[in-house]
Amino acid sequence: MREIRFRDALREAMQEEMRRDELVFLMGEEVAEYNGAYKVSQGMLDEFGEKRVIDTPISELGFAGIATGAAINGVRPIVEFMTWNFAVLAFDQIVNGAAKIHSMSGGQFSCPIVFRGPSGSAGQLGASHSQAFESWMANTPGLKVVSPSNPYDAKGLLKSAIRDADPVVFMESEMMYSDLGEVPEEEYIIPIGKADVVRTGKDITIVSFNKMMKVAKESADALAKEGIEAEVIDLRTIRPLDFPTIVESVKKTNRLIIIDESWPFGGISSEISFQIQKHAFDYLDAPIKRINGADANMHYAPNLVDAYLPSVKKVVEASKAALYV
């Protein structure tokens, strides 16, 4: 099977859906003339023209509002944010507009829209450019939240998101755009709401998503060298979250590690911990371990960036503590 980069998988998803449905269009800062801040939309202006690949002013609240109104009126916008840190300015339209219009209209209006762009840390970018927004968005009823970790999932899930009748928040990572992965040339989609067991094991379950899946897989490799078989689950979708897959894994391994780069207070790892204690408490042989980013703002210094984020060392130590409790 061919290998392509993460950015190319996203582009293919958008191109295929725009060829399939003339109501789909892309808008955002620098998506057209500049071919995208991360070159995700490279060549799309040439193929689809300026009416379907639209450069916007630097006004996230403004173009998110235009796109939300357009979606309510029957078209299917894809909104690219240069970073979800900038999308904070558009939260009113996403949270109070797109997420609520279906219920507030008594089902008279739908809002088929995709808001996408990079989330989380990307090296030395400082506190206001390094925040992970999955838990922020997942806290809002009416939004679906997708956070893929590889090119194959990115393409299949983005195609599903574009076809969805509800607003979908699609989280990427600046640090994954150049990642290579196997992606078939033929048509495929991945359903929203289904996790992926990427590695089977019997001793401990490791759950993560987005670029922290790299830490999860490397941790499983390190544990395997010591004879510990970790089962690794890629959530892929944050809302709806596939709790049954995690529950079944924990019933088998009796231990759980959750890797989530966002803050520990009120985050995704907290919700998973609660749900597992609710549905699989009697199967746990050790306390659930959460490996989060620090409960602080990200700093610029590289040594503090490393100290802030989850690491293989932290995951291996937590796994051993759970196994030998």
- Mean pLDDT over each residue of the chain, to the nearest integer: 96
325 has a pLDDT exceeding 70: no
**Binning pLDDT at 50, 70 and 90, where does residue 308 land?**
very high
123, pLDDT greater than 90: no
Structure tokens at 323: 């196994």
Mean pLDDT of 110-133: 93
Res 20: pLDDT: 98
Annotated active-site residue in 17, 29, 129, 174: 129
For CATH 3.40.50.970, list the domain ranges present in the chain. Answer: 3-182
**Is residue 121's pLDDT more than 80?**
yes
Q: What is the mean pLDDT of residues 71-93?
A: 96
d(CA 258, CA 49): 44
* pLDDT one-digit tens code per residue, 261-292: 999 999 999 999 999 999 999 999 999 999 99
Amino acid at 272: I
- Residue 60: active-site member: yes
Give residue-wise pLDDT tens across range 196-233: 999 999 999 999 999 999 999 999 999 999 999 999 99
CA distance 29 to 82: 7
Catalytic position from the list 12, 17, 29, 60: 60
Pick the CATH number of 196-323 from 3.20.20.70, 3.40.50.2020, 3.40.50.300, 3.40.50.920: 3.40.50.920
Query: Residue 4 has what pLDDT?
Result: 98
- H helices within the chain, ranges in order? 6-20, 44-48, 60-72, 84-87, 91, 101-104, 134-138, 151-163, 212-224, 243-253, 268-280, 302-308, 312-323
Residues of the chain with CATH 3.40.50.920: 196-323
Instruction: Report pLDDT for 143.
Output: 98
Q: What are the tens digits of pLDDT across the range 36-58?
A: 999 999 999 999 999 999 999 99
Active-site residue, 279 included: no
The residues that bridge with 239 in the sheet, in sequence order, are 145
Q: Does domain 3-182 have CATH number 3.40.50.970?
A: yes
Distances from the Cα of 191 to the Cα of 2, 59, 140, 209, 238, angstroms: 22, 32, 20, 16, 13
Burial class of residue 209 in the structure, from the number of CB atoms within 10 Å of its CB (0-12 exposed, 13-18 middle, 19+ buried)? buried
pLDDT in tens, 233-266: 999 999 999 999 999 999 999 999 999 999 999 9
**Does position 1 have pLDDT exceeding 90, yes or no?**
no
Tell the residue number behind the tokens 């609520």, with chain if given. Answer: 100
Distances (CA, A) of 82 to 27, 172, 195, 200, 292: 11, 11, 27, 36, 25
CA atoms within 13 A on the CB side of 134: 34
> 250 is written with which tokens?
């924990």
Q: Is 193 left (phi over 0), alpha (psi -120 to 50) or beta?
A: left
Q: How far apart are CA 256 and CA 284, in angstroms?
A: 8
Quote the pLDDT of residue 281.
Answer: 96
Dist. CA 109–CA 225, nearest whole Å: 54
